[in-house]
Structure 1
Amino acid sequence: MNAFTDIVGHKNIINALKHAVKNGSTAHAYIFDGPVGVGKKSVAATFAKVLNCERGESEPCNRCKSCLTFDAGTNVNYYGITHEKKNITVGDIRTQINANVSYPPQNGKYKVFTVPDADLMNIEAQNALLKTLEEPPEYVVFLLICTNYKRLLHTIISRCMIYKFMPLASSDVINYAVENLKLGSESASLYARYASGSIGKLKSMTGSEEFSEIRSRAFNLFSNSETSDIVTVYSMAEDMKKYESNILNGVLDTFFSIVRDAIVYKQTGNIKYVMQSDMANEIKEISFRHELEGLFVIFDELYKVKKRLSANGDVALLTESLLMTIKENSK
């Protein structure tokens, strides 16, 4: 990203950050919280760049030494925290933040530390960061990027300015798909529905054979759950346990779209209101095999499964329950 103007959505957050830069009221620590792929990292990167832009305005000039070295990844006043393990450890914080925070910035106003996946810090790492947050040098700015900031210690949260990033409007995602990814309007609408307000998710899906494969797998799983015997359904659930997380989430997201479309078709009898128009015949068949009340039961079960999986619930038990709910509510 070259400037805030290049970022899709989040205008209120961007305006607040620009106002802080313009008025010299930048906080020492920020939490950018929200779903994956909605723009948190893009906003954080642009904010980090503009803080040390030599022009000193609320948009980066993209021409000064600070901006150019930032884009090249060689800006000595910027630290992007990385981690090799599943969680961010106390060693990561000590070597990448605590060891560098006491030295003033070179030829710039701020030292900026961005922590992607900040909610993956273990307790020891959070306590190590907290020591710096309690008495931060005046030149330090922390940008903590999270998908669930409530995993952070309350003592960290209370010392941060919190901005919550919401999923983008469907129209924004469609426009991005048409203008930047050069998709046709029908394809853009389909991908936008699956992207759930996430430009990052949109990019990963377009042109990906995996997306088509996941969709096809989800439709087959749903239909087979309706018509198979109980032993086969349990066997399918056992197979789902082996899915990688991105595939499992993709299948469940497709299930949501299937049930949504079946409900809409059941209520209206008109296929033009179905999101997945390329799968119209399959949606009709699924709709015919369920009563409206049963489709709502499946939708509720899907919601519960997604929520419990996000809290590290047992994949096998949850998928068994879901597939059995689909079977039990089919004709």
Structure 2
Amino acid sequence: MSSVLHDPSSAAYKKAQKLYLKSTKNRINETDHDWTPFRAAEKRYKARFPPPDLSNVLDIAILDDERTAEIDYGVWRGRVDAQEWREISLLNGRKGYILPRVPGLVLLPSYLSPGKQRELVRWSLSEHSRPPNETNLDTHYVLPPEGIWNVAVEAKKDPSRNIVIQPRHLLLPSDQKLDVVHGPRALINNTPASAENFDTLSHISKPPAPPSQTVGTSYSVDLLPKLRWANIGWFYHWGSKQYDFSKGKVAVHSRIRDVCQSAVQSVDWSDVFSGDSSDWGIKGDWRSWNESYEPDAGIVNFYQTKARLGCFNVHCCSLC
């Protein structure tokens, strides 16, 4: 989105306004009454028009002098005083930030260097998005064991190697094929997980997601842009939005584990929780995190350059 959208006198602003008024002309006014505060905030900040107001958004990047040119070049800018925060010194000599209103949340700006980020992106595509890690494509397609990225790269080098990927529904017996369901996707509103209800939630039936009955065969190069995520560790069941512990846990690769442990070990947790009055028990688990922390589950998300990052409200991951 160009910065001219912030100028009401610009042609781009007037065009966006016209499209907005046209698209909302017949919208029911009560549509947003059923939205939760979380969903309402997501809709507000993802809106294409009018441009979102970021005056209440904390923008830690403003504190980093090395990112001044980046911020000036960009379009969106929040405020450094939008929320109360406190700076903490990390054990590796860098800076972190905590928000008193969200106990335990630690912001680690630019924790990974650009070079390290590029290295992890390449590794995630070539090595992580393949068995035994599930991806969003596995439900609907029979993917090659070497992973969709690697076969697509080879096809780019040699078009004769652009293999055909078969849809999974073609392999199902006719009596196992489901009717195509039309209409909006049903929203799932789970009870937040806790130590008290964990056993009950873990025993809720989590049948495999049915493959789409409408997808057809696809060449590897054409299918690659549809890669959206790859699982880490415990398997996440999207149908129930809970973890499926019955499937066991895939070992978290050292590349991911090392980054996570390094981030946790860089924080002096006594500084984070020194003024926190929350009930952490007699000792508090945080006292041993630098030695005991092990990442258990997560997701690697893949986004196209034009994609927008949506909000994700997670209740089930607090125990993982």
Q: Which has the higher helix share?
A: 1
TM-score (norm: length of structure 1): 0.22
